[in-house]
Structure 1
Amino acid sequence: MFQVGDAVSYGTSGVCTIAEKKSVKLAGRPCECYILRPVYDSTMKICVPCDSQVLLQRMRALPSKQELLDLLQEPAPEHNPDPEARKEQYRQTLQSGDRHDLLQMIRDIYTERRHRHAMGKQLSAYEDTALREAQNILHSEFAYTLGIDPQEVPDFIAGELDKAAN
């Protein structure tokens, strides 16, 4: 499985390093846990019990540079006009943490934001929050894998999407 020192993506926390594996007391009983430290938030520490399949499934190996670039070459998603259906789809996407689905969701929200901006409107609070959470996950993966600053990721992605569109 995973080893101390490995970099992984964990839920909505983004890229983390496995700082240690140790026994801690949870709910009064000893439990073996991975201790994760988010790469881009040194103040946080995450304890993942080794016997919790649900939480262990949130730990995913990082993609290669080529896998990330291939994701950006995929066609834009079909936009679902039903806001409630989109909200549920976004919730499930964030919960799954699947990078393909996250990138599709970000592209869909970007398109919706441009459309609404043209009409003088803004994204709903839920779409705005979902966008930020998805960006937190993906931007940290892109930054870590590509060796760039997280603030450079939006421009990098925009540039790659422009290349794919031409």
Structure 2
Amino acid sequence: MFTVGDTVFYSSNGVCVIEDIQERTFWGEKKLYYILRSTHNEALKLYYPVETAQSQLTEIVSKKKAELILEQFKNPPDPWNERMQERQHSYQKILKSNNHIQIAKMVNTILRRKIELESQEKKLSSGDQQLLNQVLPILYKELAVSLDISVEVVIKEVEQLIQNH
């Protein structure tokens, strides 16, 4: 069980702080809920049940794990699937897995594809760009919190790793 003040990772909502734990009634059922505040969007207040079969709340990755995640940006991209629907389906499965290493590999592949296309004066598909817009702020924020650095430093680090490898 988490406590008030803990920083947690909440699936697609990213890094959140537990502001309170309260009993609330939703859909006619009274339960104990974590009251979460998103660090990505401070106006966003979330309620998450304290007791649930498969919690989507996890601890923030450790500094060591964050460093392993960053290492993924040194690797060449995974093979690009030209079939957009298959690619998007595969990416959604990766996101649902909450596996930070796999998410970083996916982001690495998409970012490298974007750079390749831009060198040919082309653009990434809107679906792939939308996915980056959704995932990057969350990934960068968690890495920043875990490594105790700013998001801007994380962004520069990722850009340098991709450029140098």
- State TM-score, norm by structure 2: 0.87
Question: Offset of 1:130 from its aligned partner?
Answer: 0.8
Distance, in Å, in 2 between the alignment partners of 1:51 and 1:67 is 27
**Identity rate, percent:** 24
Distance, in Å, in 1 between the alignment partners of 2:41 and 2:85 is 33
Q: Please, which of 59, 67, 70 is the counterpart of residue 69 of structure 1?
A: 67
**Runs of 4+, deviation exceeding 4 Å:** 160-163
1:77 and 1:121, CA in 2 relative to 1: closer, same or farther beyond 3 A? closer
The aligned residue for residue 45 of structure 2 is 45
Deviations 1:28-71 (A, max 9, x none): 221111111112322111100234334x2x21111122211122
The aligned residue for residue 24 of structure 1 is 24
Provide structure 2 residue ranges, at least 5 long, that are not aligned to the other structure: none
Distance, in Å, in 2 between the alignment partners of 1:112 and 1:146 is 27
Pairing of 1:1-166 with structure 2 (within 5 A): 1-54=1-54, 56=55, 58-74=56-72, 75-82=75-82, 83-161=84-162, 165=165
Maintained 8 Å contact 1:143/1:153:
yes
Question: Offset of 1:156 from its aligned partner?
Answer: 2.0
Matched letter for residue 35 of structure 2: I
Distance, in Å, in 2 between the alignment partners of 1:40 and 1:110 is 21
Distance, in Å, in 2 between the alignment partners of 1:66 and 1:17 is 21
Maintained 8 Å contact 2:21/2:32:
yes
Deviations 1:84-135 (A, max 9, x none): 2211111112222221111111100011111211222111111011112221
Q: Give the root-mean-square deviation of aligned CA atoms.
A: 1.9
Distance, in Å, in 2 between the alignment partners of 1:133 and 1:120 is 24
Q: How many residues align?
A: 162
Provide structure 1 residue ranges, at least 5 long, that are not aligned to the other structure: none
Distance, in Å, in 1 between the alignment partners of 2:113 and 2:136 is 16
1:27 and 1:157, CA in 2 relative to 1: closer, same or farther beyond 3 A? same
Distance, in Å, in 2 between the alignment partners of 1:123 and 1:162 is 18
Maintained 8 Å contact 2:21/2:34:
yes
Q: Secondary structure at the match of 2:37?
A: strand
Maintained 8 Å contact 1:33/1:50:
yes
